[in-house]
Chains A and B, each alone.
Chain A
């Protein structure tokens, strides 16, 4: 069951008339290049950007930086479309996995989506335009065979599933009507082009470094899903078997709410080790590395609120370098820090994420993704001969220059546990700065990273020091810290934030009389609770999409049985622990509030229902407590509608500025 809220009413009560000094547009614009790939010869880079006109595919010369636009989705289709993936097949062609929403049965959502593979032929001479072809046979690209010209591997699934080697030169232009002499896809889906096959419906083929199908994940004719290795002579050896009914939750699986369903999505360093996603998660947010022979597994990557839709592997295809995330309504690449998220011992080092995405066949040209805490992500071309590195595209084109911010990483000991935090200063050497304490949401299994974080940089650009605390319950710093957050919503998690605030407030850089707290979701809850409990520390609070009634939150209709079980274990049981959960709810403590409070909430919020904001408002009114508030009629939990992200941050920073 999927849950959604309908719009009830629109209330716009109080709004700020002033705005923050540094405009939010610079930090929260949705425009910029988010995906890049290098041609095998290293001469061109294919890039996808979001612009005001929509998504565009273009190339840039790695030597001159000359840009050629290949595909503008707004011109290509009237339907709502998206490029999910782009990869070079050879030096002349780019394969683009393309999806579009077509008109289907009225109001029936899943009759409308179509996905197909486009082959974009890059113009080789001036004045030429890109030729766009497509594969008409249903299936998907499994390997571009980029080291071999005019070849790629394409999978087709059915009772028997097969892998074919296809020549893109023999395909027809997209949507071109075929005459009687022309065969669909050049008649290439025949036995002689078959490279692998399996009896059953294949969902994933795993390709080794030699470009051969080495393993396959498929449904057998029985009641099983299998992961099997394929030998050179096409022999199939079973590696792992899953019960099909358990996968689909048909037979007793729903009762096992703590189960995991780790299915492989990429092969690791050998044919027994795979990178897996847990498909029993509500949304796939964790990458595991699993050896299916030994059963050993470890967490490799975890994201907070976004869904992982694909893994990005190293050129050698044996290690994970990033993930594709479904973020802010689009697809974004997030590259991994190979050092992990663990806090480093040095307190003031520059957080530097530097990842080689691809290297040309001759090893002379590399494509690199780079990001620091004060430098938004950029794609770089490095020429190994000249040692020269040039920027080829940026994630935030409006933030070209390195920002002046200075970052300090440290920790504070609270109840026997080291609590890591990150303090961002507008610039090094400044003293007596106003401080915004900015606890993250979650609170379990989420963490603040040390790299570029737009909202932190926005607040710093407006003259504030920003403190982000990886309190107990946060991920990225080990299991012990994460598990310590269990049932600590209104208890030790708040203490961790408070103690970090106290420690940081003693620094010369911070003015302890100018401290406000601002948070979103759980952070909004923490901001309200801490401002109620510690008015001597926090001069004001901003509660964005925050929980005000913990029992109401636990009784939310927007949850599955699995989430319900998790919530009972990590937050509390509303039936057995109603009173204690009521005690930690800001709603029932607002009479003690002494500091100004700003409430911001999206009417369409399906994570923390807008009822939380209305309850808080009514209680504040009853107690004659001053507050300001704003309801965003079109936005949900992430404030993605219209330009609500910008407006939300601008309102928060302006409010804090006014209070301090």
Chain B
């Protein structure tokens, strides 16, 4: 009996300490590109190359209302009232995954990668490289998300890498049907003129 009290006590404490956004978090699961449904108006696809390991990794994101603030300066960034979304990354295999989302800029705020009794959590809410943007009617490639399998007790390797050029050929070859309906766009959340410069050159040839 004593054990049960302790357990419930701990859970109560955890509930009291949990930020309100997390309690109301909407849970989502990434979808394989071949299983995607047609986009509603005002929506685009988030496309992400997932290479994760671990027991039950996930990431949380929020919509950024004002993208003018520089998160690295740790100034207040306004997030959408819709609150936090949690995307589970527990998949049978790594590779390309997508998620239909309303157009806008988003901030990945936290990566969770628990490992047995080690509750790995990485706060990414102030890092601008953890942003992505969704253009309506497009397949927005946000990059390569990796959570390394090998880790130490105090840290793990987590990255969202801007790999538009590296992956462009593969995406165009493997996602022909999807891209014919929703063309490929560069979905990183920081200013990056490369895709535009590349496209300009294509059209001017």
Give A contacts to B, CB under 8 Å. 1-6, 8-9, 105, 107-111, 549, 551-552, 555-558, 561, 564, 574-575, 578, 582, 587-588, 609-611, 614-615, 617-619, 622-623
In the assembly, what is the distance between CA of A617 and CA of B146, in Å? Answer: 24
User: Inside 8 A of A555's CB, which chain B residues have their CB?
Assistant: 128-129, 162, 190, 192
Interface size class of B (residues with CB under 8 A): 35 or more
Q: In chain A, what residue has the closest Cβ to B74? A: A255
- 22 CB < 8 A contacts A-B: A1-B122, A1-B157, A1-B158, A8-B49, A8-B163, A9-B170, A107-B53, A107-B151, A108-B151, A108-B153, A110-B153, A551-B191, A551-B192, A552-B162, A555-B129, A555-B192, A557-B129, A557-B159, A611-B163, A614-B168, A619-B197, A622-B198
Known: A8-B49, A582-B193. A108 touches B163 (CB 8 A): no
Complex Cα distance, B173 from A59, in Å, reads: 60
User: What distance in Å separates the Cβ of A346 from its nearest Cβ neighbour in chain B?
Assistant: 49
Known: A8-B163, A555-B190, A557-B160. 18 other contacts (CB 8 A): A1-B158, A2-B156, A4-B148, A6-B148, A8-B166, A108-B151, A108-B152, A109-B152, A551-B192, A561-B72, A582-B193, A587-B197, A609-B162, A611-B161, A615-B165, A618-B165, A618-B168, A623-B201
Residues of B within 8 A of A574 (CB): 190-191
Q: Are A587 and B144 in contact (CB under 8 A)?
A: no
Residue of A nearest to B204 (CB): A622
A614 to B205, CA, bound (A): 20
Query: Is the beta-carbon distance between A611 and B170 smaller than 8 angstroms?
Result: no
> A619, B201: Cβ atoms under 8 Å?
yes
CA distance A588 to B194 in the complex (A): 9
Supposing A108-B115, A564-B72 touch, asked if A614 and B165 sit within 8 A by C-beta, the answer is yes
Question: B164: CB under 8 A from chain A?
Answer: yes
B146 contact from A5, A551, A609, A622, Cβ within 8 A: A5
Given the known A-B contacts A552-B162, A614-B166, A618-B165, are A8 and B144 also in contact in the complex, defined by CB atoms under 8 Å?
Answer: yes
B37 contacts the other chain (CB 8 A): no
**CA distance in complex: A611, B194 (Å):** 11
* Alpha-carbon separation in the docked complex, A558 to B201 (Å): 30
Asked if B149 lies at the interface with its beta carbon under 8 angstroms from chain A, I say yes
Looking at B150, B157, B161, B201, the one whose CB has the most chain A CB atoms below 10 A away is B161
Q: Contact: B144 with A6, CB < 8 Å?
A: yes
Leading 8 A-B pairs by shortest Cβ distance: A614-B165, A110-B152, A4-B157, A615-B165, A622-B201, A6-B146, A614-B166, A6-B51
Which residues from chain A contact B129 at a C-beta distance below 8 Å? 555-557
A114 to chain B, nearest CB (A): 15
Distance between A550 CB and nearest chain B CB, rounded to angstroms? 12
Q: Are A552 and B194 in contact (CB under 8 A)?
A: yes
**Known interface pairs A6-B146, A8-B49, A9-B170; A611-B151 also in contact (CB < 8 Å):** no
Chain B residues with CB under 8 Å of A9's CB are 166, 170
CA distance A148 to B154 in the complex (A): 42
The answer to whether B190 touches A3 (Cβ under 8 A) is: no
- Tell me which residues across on chain A come within 8 A of B205, comparing CB atoms: 622
Q: Does B70 reach chain A (CB closer than 8 Å)?
A: yes
Q: Is the CB of A4 within 8 A of B144?
A: no
Contact between B161 and A107, CB atoms less than 8 A apart? no
* Cα(A6)–Cα(B156), bound, Å: 13
CB distance from B125 to the nearest CB of A (A): 13
Nearest residue (CB) in A for B157 is A4
Cβ of A610: which chain B residues have Cβ within 8 Å of it? 166
Q: Are B198 and A618 closer than 8 Å at their CB atoms?
A: yes
**Other-chain contact of A5, B116, B153, B161, B202 (Cβ < 8 Å):** B161
Q: Looking across the interface, which residue of chain B has its beta carbon closest to that of A565?
A: B72
Min Cβ gap B53→A in Å is: 8
Bound CA–CA A108/B144 (angstroms): 23
Contact call B70/A575, Cβ cutoff below 8 A: yes
State how many angstroms separate the Cβ of B63 from the closest Cβ of chain A. Answer: 21
**A617 and B165: CB pair below 8 A?**
yes
Which residues on B sit within 8 Å (CB–CB) of A1?
A: 122, 155, 157-158
Instruction: Render B92-127 as a binary contact track against A, CB cut-off 8 A, 1 for contact.
Output: 000000000000000000000001100000100000
**Residues of A close to B159: CB separation below 8 A:** 3-5, 557-558
* CA of A540 to CA of B122, assembled, Å: 45
> Closest Cβ of chain B: how far from A608's Cβ, in Å?
12
A3 CA to B193 CA, complexed, in Å: 25
Contacts of B201 in A (CB 8 A): 619, 622-623
Q: Which residues of B contact A552 (CB under 8 A)?
A: 162, 192, 194
Contacts of A549 in B (CB 8 A): 194
Q: Chain A nearest CB: distance from B7 CB in Å?
A: 25
Contacts of A623 in B (CB 8 A): 201
Tell me whether A8 and B150 are in contact in the complex, defined as CB-CB below 8 angstroms, given that A3-B159, A552-B194, A574-B190 are known contacts.
no
Could you say which residues of chain A place their CB within 8 Å of the CB of B49? 8
Q: Is the CB of B193 within 8 A of A611?
A: no
Shortest CB–CB separation between residue B122 and chain A, in angstroms?
7
Known: A9-B170, A622-B198. A557 touches B165 (CB 8 A): no
